[in-house]
Amino acid sequence: MDALRRNILKNAGGVGMIGLAIGAGLLKPTLALADWNKSAFDAKTVPEAVKALGAANAAESKEIAIKAPDIAENGVVVPVEITSNIPGTEYIMVLAENNPTPLIADFDLTNGAMGYVAIRIKMGKTGPVRAIVKANGKFYTAFKQVKVTIGGCGG
Amino acid sequence: MEPMRMRATIQGDVADIKLLINHPEETGLRKDPKTGQLVPAHFITNITATVNGKKVLSAQWGVGISKNPFMGFKVKGAKAGDKVVVSWVDNKGETQTGETTIGS
Distance of residue A143 Cα from the nearest chain B Cα, in angstroms: 17
Interchain pair A106, B59: CB under 8 A: yes
Q: Does an H or E element contain B15, and which?
A: strand B14-20
Residues of chain A whose pLDDT is less than 70? 1-34, 152-155
Please report whether residue A58 resides in a domain.
yes
User: How many A/B residue pairs have CB atoms within 8 Å?
Assistant: 145
In this prediction, residues B8-19 reach a mean pLDDT of 97
Interchain pair B65, A120: CB under 8 A: yes
Q: Check pLDDT > 60 for residue B86.
A: yes
CATH number at residue B84: 2.60.40.10
Contact B28, B41 (CB under 8 A): yes
Integer angstrom CA distances of residue A99 from A54, A103, B65, B76, B91: 20, 8, 12, 33, 20
Interface of chain B toward chain A, CB-CB under 8 angstroms: 14, 18, 27, 29-31, 45-46, 48-49, 51, 54-67, 69-78, 87-89, 91-93, 95, 97
Please report whether residue A38 resides in a domain.
no
Please report whether residue A95 resides in a domain.
yes
Give the per-residue SS3 of A98-131: CCCCCEEEEEEECCCEEEEEEEEECCCCCEEEEE
- Report the residue of chain A nearest B54, measured CA to CA: A111
Interface with chain B: mutation pick from A2, A91, A103, highest number of B CBs within 10 Å: A2
Q: How many domains does chain B have?
A: 1
Residue B28 burial (CB count, 10 A): 12
Interchain pair B60, A117: CB under 8 A: no
CATH number at residue A123: 2.60.40.2470
* Tens of pLDDT, residues B18-72: 999 999 999 999 999 999 999 999 999 999 999 999 999 999 999 999 999 999 9
Query: How much is the pLDDT for B1?
Result: 83
The answer to whether residues A66 and A117 belong to one domain is: yes
Query: How much is the pLDDT for A56?
Result: 83
Q: How many domains does chain A have?
A: 2
Chain A residues lying within 8 Å of B73, measured CB to CB: 107, 109, 113-114, 116-118
- In a 3-state reduction of DSSP, which class is residue A31? helix
The answer to whether residues A118 and A72 belong to one domain is: yes
Please report whether residue A118 resides in a domain.
yes
Residue A36 burial (CB count, 10 A): 17
The answer to whether residues A80 and A119 belong to one domain is: yes
Which strands make up the sheet holding A113-121, listed edge to edge? Answer: A64-67, A78-84, A113-121, B70-76, B14-20, B5-11
Distance of residue B77 Cα from the nearest chain A Cα, in angstroms: 6
Select from B99, B14, B82 the least CA-distant residue to A116. Answer: B14
Domain extent, residue A52, equals: 44-150
* Tens of pLDDT, residues A75-97: 999 999 999 999 999 999 999 99
Contact A10, A3 (CB under 8 A): no
The answer to whether residues A89 and A115 belong to one domain is: yes
Query: How much is the pLDDT for B104?
Result: 64
For residue B98, count CB atoms less than 10 angstroms from its CB and return exposed for 0-12, middle for 13-18, buried for 19 or more: middle
Domain extent, residue B52, equals: 5-101
The answer to whether residues A26 and A94 belong to one domain is: no
Contact A91, A109 (CB under 8 A): yes
The answer to whether residues A24 and A81 belong to one domain is: no
Chain B residues lying within 8 Å of A118, measured CB to CB: 18, 70-73
The answer to whether residues A68 and A138 belong to one domain is: yes
The answer to whether residues A122 and A81 belong to one domain is: yes
Strands, E assignment, chain A:
59-60, 64-67, 71-74, 78-84, 89-96, 103-109, 113-121, 127-135, 138-150
